[in-house]
C-alpha cells in the first residue's frame, strides 16, 4: 500500500470511525454473539494472496464488529467504564504511524522526554510530591509488579543475584506482603510471579466501609515479625475495584514508615480524582508512599493502554532491572534516561503522545469538570437507590461507582437469614442479566460481605444524566417484571 | 471534541501521516537533538484550559517531531529494523477507536476470538505444530517471562503457594536456567524477576558461528544435577540479537526431552523466516519445544507492540496465573477463553486486529516475498563486505542482519594483537558515528568475541537495494575520510 493508497484508506477509515463515534449506542453495548461465532466465520488459513483493504474493512464490519462489546457506548457501566477520547484516539493513530520503540533515549528522544513532561504534568495535577519520578507501563498489573519488584530489591539482600531461595536459607516464605481483602487481584499475581508464593500475601480485613483496618494491619505485621518473617510491602488502595473505597493512607503510611516497609499505593482508578475540588487531600497520605500507580486509561480519557508508576526510588527500580547488553550500549550521553532500564519490558511504545494530547485537549479545568460530573451522576443514581424501598445501596459512593441490590417483596435489609440471602443473590443476578440483555446498558457485579451486588460505574465521556436515568428506568422495569413472574 | 470535529481532525491527521509515510527519508533518521531539548521546550504544567487540536498538532511538528528517530526511514538499519505497514497502522487506529479491553471473552468476543484465529494462521505459516496454543502479549520480554513462569509452575512443587523459598528449604539457588552467551537480555531479566536470581542463569558458550554448543549445555546440566541443583528451563534462540545465529534446536530439544527440562524457543525476530522457501525446516526442532515466542512487530510489518507466545501447555500457564475475583466472574459459558487467565496483565488491547489486517493485506505470498527480499539485500551487502579488502564480515548471515567491521591500513583479520584490536574498535566506533551522523542511515553495533562490530539490519518494507547501496557508499566514503585523517 503506497502513501496515496494509505491516504485513501485512512480517509475512509476516519469517516467510518467518526460515524461510529457519533453514536455507538446504535449497537448493543454487550456483544450478542455466542462463543465461537466470530471464529467460525473466519477461514483456517491466512489468504495466499493479498487482499484489498476495502474487503478487509467490509469483513471487519460483517464478522468482527458484531463481536465487539462497546466500551464506547454511553450505557457502558460495567467494571470501570473508560473512554477513548477523540484526542487520545488521534494520538494513538499518530503513535502507530511513527512506530517508535523507545527502549533507549536515542531511539526516541521524543517519546522519552515527552513521557517525563506529561508525567510531571499529571503528577502536579494529582498534587503528588516532586520526589516522585514517573514511568509509563501498559497496565496497572505491570506497574504494581514493578513496584513490588523494587520493594523486593530494597528489602532482600542480594535477591537480584542469589534469588529468593538463597535469601531464605532456612526455607519457608520469609517475606510477607499486605493488602486488604478488597485489594486488586493484580497484587496476588505479582506476589506469585515474584516468587514469594501466594501464601506470603496477607489480606487484611476491611471495615464496614471496605477500607483496610489499620489496626489489623499493625497486628498482622507484628505477628509476622514475631514469627521471624520480614514484612516487605503494603499495598494500600485509593479506589478499590469493588466499591472504590479508600484505605486510610495516612495511618498506613505511618505504620510503613515506622516499620520501614515499602508502601505502594494502588490509585489506578481513583487517583485522578485528587485533581477535583473537594478531593484535594485524597492523596495526602501518599506523600510518604514509596510508589503509586494511576491509570490514565481508566478515568482520564486515554485509550487503553497507559498506566503510570510514580516512584520515590527510581534508582532502586533501575538497580533491579538495569542490564545493558553491548548491542544496546550507547556512548555516555550525560543524564539521559533509557526507558529499558526501568523494567522488564525492553520495548516501549510512544504512549506519552496520546496522554499529552488528552491533557492539552481537555486542559486541567476540562478534566476536573468531567470527573466532577461523573461523580455527580453517581451520587444522583445513588440518591435514587436510597429513595427506593425496592433497592438498597451496599457501599458508600466516594467517586463514580455505585454498588446496590434489589430487595424484592419488601425484604428487610441486612436480615441474617441465609436462605433469604441466597434468594436475593439469585434474584439480583437474574435482574442484572435481564437489564444487560436489553443491549442498552451493561452493568457488572461484585460480592460484598458475601452478597451479590450490582455495580454501576460511570466513566465514559458520553454518558449523560439521561443514560444514567435510563439505566435506573431499566432496573425498575425489570425489577417489576421479575417480581410479577 | 464531537464526532464532526473528530472527523475533521482525523482527516487532517490522515493527510499528515500519508505525507509523512510518502517520504520519511526527508528527515534525518537518527534524531538530531540533545538531551533535554524536547523537555526544555515544553511548559512545566498542563494547560489550565483546553486547547484546539490544530495547536497541539502544530506543537507536535515544531517540538516533538525533531526528537523522533525515524524507525520508518528506509535507511534505518539499526537493532532490528521494523515496519509499521499501512494496514497495521490502520488496524491500530481502529483498535484505538474501539478501545476494547479484552480481559474476559464477554468484554470483547471479537478480540478474544480474532486472536485465536490470527495466531492459528501465523502458526501454520510458520509450520509450527497444532499442539501450540497462542496468546498475544506486548513484548518478547513479557512472552518469555510467561514461558519461564510456566516452566517454574511445572517444575517447582507448590511454587504458586509457598514461593521459591519454601521450595528450596536448604537454601541456595536450586533451580537453574540455561541460555547461550548470545541469549537476549530479556532472559536475564525474567530470571531475576521470577526470583531465581541472576546466578541461576547459565550462559552456555556459543561456537564460532555464535550457536549454543549443545555439548556444553549437556555438560552444564550434568554438573548442576551433580551439585544437587534442578535444571528448569533452556532458552534456545532462533535469530540471536547480535548476529541472528540459530541455536541447534533439534539437539537442544533432544537434551531437554531426555532431561525433562522446559524448552523455550526465542524466535522473536527470525521465527517468521520459517515461511520463506529455503527456510521451511528452520523451526523443525521446535516441534518438541514447550513454548516459542515470535514478534510480528519485529519482522512481520506489524506496528509495535505485538508479541506472540506459543505454548504446548497453556493449561500450565493458566494454572500459574488464573485468579478470578468475584467482580470478574462470569457465568459458566462453556469453552470461552478469558485472556486475563493467561498472564500477569489483566487488561489486554485488541492487538489481533492489526495482525489480521497485515496478514490479509499482504497474504502469505506477499509476506514471503518481502522477507525473502530482505534476506537477498542482506546477502548482497554481505557480498560487498566480503569482496572488500577494507572490511571484514564477523558472522554468517542467515537472515537479514550483517555484522562486520572496517580494517584500516590493511590490517590483517583475526590478528591477536590486543592493542591493534583496541585501535580497530575505536576506529569502527568512529566510523559508525560518522556514518550515522549523515542522517541518511542509522546502523548500530554489537561486540563479537570482544570486538566492536558494526551491525546492519534490514527489516523495513521501504528499504530497497538503493538504500543498502547508499549505506555501503557512506561506509566507504567515511572509511576513506577516516584513514586520510
Residues in chain A closer than 8 A to B93 (CB atoms): 10, 13, 17, 89, 92-93, 96
Angle in degrees, CA A424, A428, A429, rounded to 5 = 115
| B233 lies in the same domain as B379 | no
Mean pLDDT confidence for A455-474: 98
Last residue of a domain, one of B316, B349, B382: B349
Assigned domain for B60 exists? no
DSSP B391: E
| A311 lies in the same domain as A453 | no
- Smallest CA–CA distance, residue A415 to chain B, in Å, is 22
Cross-chain CB nearest to B345 (options A66, A105, A139): A139
Mean pLDDT confidence for B77-93: 97
A344, burial (CB in 10 Å: exposed 0-12, middle 13-18, buried 19+): buried
Instruction: Tell me whether residues A50 and B139 touch, CB distance under 8 A.
Output: no
Q: Residue A46 corresponds to which cell in the numbers above? A: 491466512
Percent of chain A with pLDDT over 90: 88
Contact in structure between B327 and A242 (CB atoms under 8 Å): yes
- Smallest CA–CA distance, residue A265 to chain B, in Å, is 18
Backbone angles phi, psi at A50, to 5 degrees: -60, 150
- Smallest CA–CA distance, residue B330 to chain A, in Å, is 10
The 3-state secondary structure of A139-198 reads CHHHHHHHHHHHHHHHHCCCHHHHHHHHHCCCCCCCEEEEEECCCCHHHHHHHHHCCCCH
Residues in chain A closer than 8 A to B15 (CB atoms): 7
CATH of the domain at B13: 3.90.1150.170
| Chain B contact probe: residue of A50, A62, A141 with most B CBs at under 10 A | A50
Instruction: Tell me whether residues A35 and B105 touch, CB distance under 8 A.
Output: yes
CATH of the domain at B205: 3.40.640.10
Residues in chain A closer than 8 A to B323 (CB atoms): 185, 188-189
Instruction: Tell me whether residues B195 and A196 touch, CB distance under 8 A.
Output: yes
Assigned domain for A64 exists? no
What confidence score (pLDDT) does residue B329 get?
77
DSSP B464: -
CA distance linking residue A351 with residue A361, whole number of Å: 16
HSE-up (13 A, CA, CB side) for residue A106: 19
How does pLDDT run across A120-140, given as a tens digit for each residue?
999 999 999 999 999 999 999
The 3-state secondary structure of B316-364 reads HHHHHHCCCCHHHCCCCCCCCCCHHHHCCCCCCCCCHHHHHHHHHHHHH
Instruction: Tell me whether residues A6 and B17 touch, CB distance under 8 A.
Output: yes
pLDDT band at A362 (very low <50, low <70, confident <90, very high): very high
| A344 lies in the same domain as A438 | no
Range of the domain at A183: 101-349
Residues in chain B closer than 8 A to A357 (CB atoms): 53, 56
A260, burial (CB in 10 Å: exposed 0-12, middle 13-18, buried 19+): exposed
Instruction: Tell me whether residues A47 and B353 touch, CB distance under 8 A.
Output: no
- Smallest CA–CA distance, residue A36 to chain B, in Å, is 7
What confidence score (pLDDT) does residue A167 get?
75
Stretch among A28-37, B227-236, B312-321 having the lowest mean pLDDT: B312-321
Assigned domain for B96 exists? no
- Smallest CA–CA distance, residue B461 to chain A, in Å, is 10
| B304 lies in the same domain as B450 | no
pLDDT band at B171 (very low <50, low <70, confident <90, very high): low
* Nearest residue to A191 (alpha-carbon basis) of B391, B436, B74, B159: B159
Cross-chain CB nearest to B47 (options A14, A22, A363): A363
Burial B416-453 (b: 16+ CB within 10 A, else e): eeeeebeebbebbeebbebbbebbbbbbbbbbbeebbb
- Smallest CA–CA distance, residue B213 to chain A, in Å, is 21
Cross-chain CB nearest to A361 (options B56, B64, B361): B56
* Nearest residue to B382 (alpha-carbon basis) of B446, B273, B441, B468: B468
Q: Mean pLDDT score of chain B, rounded to an integer?
A: 95
Confidence check: pLDDT of B421 > 90:
no
How does pLDDT run across B457-476, given as a tens digit for each residue?
999 999 999 999 999 999 99
| Chain A: residue whose CA lies nearest to B443 | A327
| B185 lies in the same domain as B121 | yes
Instruction: Tell me whether residues B120 and A344 touch, CB distance under 8 A.
Output: no
Instruction: Tell me whether residues A69 and B124 touch, CB distance under 8 A.
Output: no
Instruction: Tell me whether residues A323 and B200 touch, CB distance under 8 A.
Output: no
| B288 lies in the same domain as B406 | no
What confidence score (pLDDT) does residue A158 get?
87
| A444 lies in the same domain as A330 | no
Instruction: Tell me whether residues B361 and A50 touch, CB distance under 8 A.
Output: yes
pLDDT band at B334 (very low <50, low <70, confident <90, very high): low
Show Cβ contacts of residue B227 under 8 Å, excluding neighbours closer than 6 positions. Answer: none
Count up the domains in chain B and report the number: 2
Stretch among A304-308, A339-343, A430-434, B208-212 having the lowest mean pLDDT: A339-343
What confidence score (pLDDT) does residue A162 get?
87
* Nearest residue to B157 (alpha-carbon basis) of B232, B228, B257, B225: B232
- Smallest CA–CA distance, residue A430 to chain B, in Å, is 11
Backbone angles phi, psi at A99, to 5 degrees: 50, 45
| A336 lies in the same domain as A279 | yes
* Nearest residue to A48 (alpha-carbon basis) of B355, B124, B126, B364: B364
| Chain A: residue whose CA lies nearest to B347 | A139
Mean pLDDT confidence for A356-376: 98
| Chain A: residue whose CA lies nearest to B14 | A10
SS3 B93: helix
Mean pLDDT confidence for A140-153: 97
Mean pLDDT confidence for B61-69: 98
Assigned domain for A253 exists? yes
| Chain A: residue whose CA lies nearest to B200 | A162
Stretch among A223-227, A330-334, B163-167, B222-226 having the lowest mean pLDDT: A330-334
Confidence check: pLDDT of B414 > 60:
no
Instruction: Tell me whether residues B99 and A83 touch, CB distance under 8 A.
Output: yes
Instruction: Tell me whether residues A197 and B163 touch, CB distance under 8 A.
Output: yes
The 3-state secondary structure of A41-97 reads CCCCCCCCCCCCHHHHHHHHHHHHHHHCCCCCCCCEECCCCCCCCHHHHHHHHHHHH
Residues in chain A closer than 8 A to B145 (CB atoms): 193, 344
Residues in chain A closer than 8 A to B79 (CB atoms): 101, 107, 327-328
| B394 lies in the same domain as B252 | no
Pairing of strands A133-137, A291-294: unpaired
* Nearest residue to B373 (alpha-carbon basis) of B294, B321, B311, B301: B301
Burial A201-214 (b: 16+ CB within 10 A, else e): bbebebeeebbbbb
Confidence check: pLDDT of A332 > 60:
no
How does pLDDT run across A46-67, given as a tens digit for each residue?
999 999 999 999 999 999 999 9
pLDDT band at B323 (very low <50, low <70, confident <90, very high): confident
Last residue of a domain, one of A298, A326, A349: A349
Residues in chain B closer than 8 A to A88 (CB atoms): 96
- Smallest CA–CA distance, residue B420 to chain A, in Å, is 20
| A428 lies in the same domain as A387 | yes
Assigned domain for A306 exists? yes
- Smallest CA–CA distance, residue B253 to chain A, in Å, is 26
* Nearest residue to A81 (alpha-carbon basis) of B3, B101, B325: B101
| A378 lies in the same domain as A318 | no
What confidence score (pLDDT) does residue B410 get?
59
Chain centre distance of CA B208: 24
How far is CA B269 from each of CA A460, B82, B309, B400, rounded to the nearest angstrom? 39, 10, 13, 10
| B292 lies in the same domain as B216 | yes
Confidence check: pLDDT of B415 > 60:
no
Residues in chain A closer than 8 A to B85 (CB atoms): 1
What confidence score (pLDDT) does residue B169 get?
67
Assigned domain for A88 exists? no
pLDDT band at A423 (very low <50, low <70, confident <90, very high): very high
How does pLDDT run across A65-106, given as a tens digit for each residue?
999 999 999 999 999 999 999 999 999 999 999 999 999 999
Instruction: Tell me whether residues B361 and A56 touch, CB distance under 8 A.
Output: yes
Percent of chain B with pLDDT over 70: 97
Instruction: Tell me whether residues A96 and B92 touch, CB distance under 8 A.
Output: yes
How does pLDDT run across A283-320, given as a tens digit for each residue?
999 999 999 999 999 999 999 999 999 999 999 999 88
Mean pLDDT confidence for B368-396: 98
Assigned domain for B457 exists? yes
pLDDT band at A324 (very low <50, low <70, confident <90, very high): confident
Residues in chain B closer than 8 A to A196 (CB atoms): 163-165, 195
Mean pLDDT confidence for A441-446: 98
DSSP B62: I
- Smallest CA–CA distance, residue B479 to chain A, in Å, is 20
How far is CA B365 from each of CA B28, B89, B284, rounded to the nearest angstrom? 33, 21, 21
Contact in structure between B68 and B292 (CB atoms under 8 Å): no
Stretch among A357-371, B364-378, B397-411 having the lowest mean pLDDT: B397-411
How does pLDDT run across B444-459, given as a tens digit for each residue?
999 999 999 999 999 9
Assigned domain for B152 exists? yes
Amino acid at each position: 500500500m503506497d502513501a496515496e493508497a494509505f491516504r485513501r484508506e485512512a480517509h475512509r477509515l476516519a469517516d467510518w470511525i467518526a460515524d461510529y463515534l457519533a453514536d455507538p449506542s446504535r449497537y448493543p453495548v454487550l456483544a450478542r454473539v455466542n462463543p465461537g461465532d466470530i471464529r467460525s466465520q473466519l477461514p483456517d488459513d491466512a489468504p495466499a494472496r493479498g487482499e484489498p483493504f476495502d474487503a478487509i474493512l467490509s469483513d471487519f464490519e460483517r464478522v468482527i464488529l458484531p463481536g465487539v462489546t462497546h466500551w464506547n457506548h454511553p450505557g457502558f457501566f460495567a467494571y470501570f467504564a473508560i473512554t477513548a477520547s477523540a484526542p487520545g484516539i488521534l494520538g494513538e493513530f499518530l503513535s502507530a504511524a511513527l512506530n517508535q520503540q523507545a527502549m533507549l533515549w536515542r531511539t526516541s528522544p521524543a517519546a522519552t522526554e515527552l513521557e517525563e513532561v506529561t508525567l510531571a504534568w499529571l503528577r502536579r495535577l494529582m498534587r503528588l510530591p516532586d520526589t516522585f519520578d514517573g514511568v509509563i507501563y501498559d497496565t496497572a498489573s505491570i506497574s504494581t509488579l514493578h513496584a513490588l519488584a523494587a520493594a523486593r530489591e530494597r528489602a532482600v539482600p542480594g535477591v537480584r543475584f542469589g534469588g529468593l531461595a538463597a535469601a531464605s536459607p532456612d526455607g519457608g516464605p520469609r517475606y510477607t506482603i499486605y493488602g486488604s481483602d478488597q485489594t486488586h487481584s493484580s497484587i496476588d499475581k505479582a506476589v506469585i510471579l515474584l516468587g514469594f508464593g501466594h501464601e506470603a500475601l496477607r489480606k487484611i480485613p476491611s471495615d464496614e466501609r471496605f477500607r483496610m483496618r489499620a489496626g489489623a494491619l499493625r497486628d498482622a505485621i507484628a505477628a509476622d515479625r514475631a514469627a521471624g518473617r520480614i514484612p516487605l510491602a503494603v499495598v494500600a488502595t485509593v479506589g478499590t475495584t469493588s466499591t472504590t473505597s479508600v484505605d486510610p493512607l495516612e495511618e498506613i503510611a505511618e505504620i510503613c514508615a515506622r516499620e520501614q516497609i515499602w508502601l505502594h499505593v494502588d490509585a489506578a482508578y481513583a487517583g485522578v480524582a485528587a485533581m477535583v475540588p473537594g478531593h484535594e487531600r485524597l492523596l495526602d497520605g501518599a506523600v510518604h508512599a514509596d510508589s503509586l500507580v494511576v491509570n490514565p486509561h481508566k478515568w482520564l480519557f486515554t485509550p487503553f493502554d497507559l498506566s503510570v508508576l510514580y516512584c520515590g526510588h527510581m534508582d532502586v527500580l533501575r538497580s533491579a532491572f538495569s542490564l545493558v547488553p553491548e548491542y544496546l550500549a550507547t556512548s555516555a550521553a550525560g543524564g539521559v534516561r533509557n526507558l529499558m532500564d526501568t523494567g522488564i519490558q525492553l520495548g516501549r511504545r510512544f504512549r506519552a503522545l496520546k496522554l499529552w494530547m488528552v491533557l492539552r485537549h481537555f486542559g486541567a479545568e476540562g478534566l476536573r469538570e468531567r470527573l466532577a460530573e461523573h461523580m455527580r451522576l453517581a451520587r444522583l443514581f445513588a440518591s435514587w437507590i436510597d429513595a427506593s424501598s425496592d433497592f438498597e445501596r451496599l457501599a458508600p459512593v466516594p467517586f463514580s461507582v455505585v454498588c446496590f441490590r434489589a430487595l424484592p417483596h419488601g425484604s428487610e435489609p441486612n436480615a441474617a437469614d441465609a436462605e433469604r440471602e441466597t434468594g436475593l443473590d439469585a434474584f439480583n443476578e437474574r435482574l442484572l442479566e435481564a437489564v444487560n440483555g436489553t443491549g442498552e446498558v451493561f452493568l457488572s457485579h461484585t460480592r460484598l460481605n458475601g452478597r451479590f451486588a450490582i455495580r454501576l460505574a460511570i466513566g465514559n465521556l458520553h454518558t449523560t444524566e439521561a443514560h444514567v436515568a435510563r439505566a435506573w428506568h431499566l432496573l425498575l422495569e425489570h425489577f417489576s417484571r421479575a417480581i410479577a413472574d
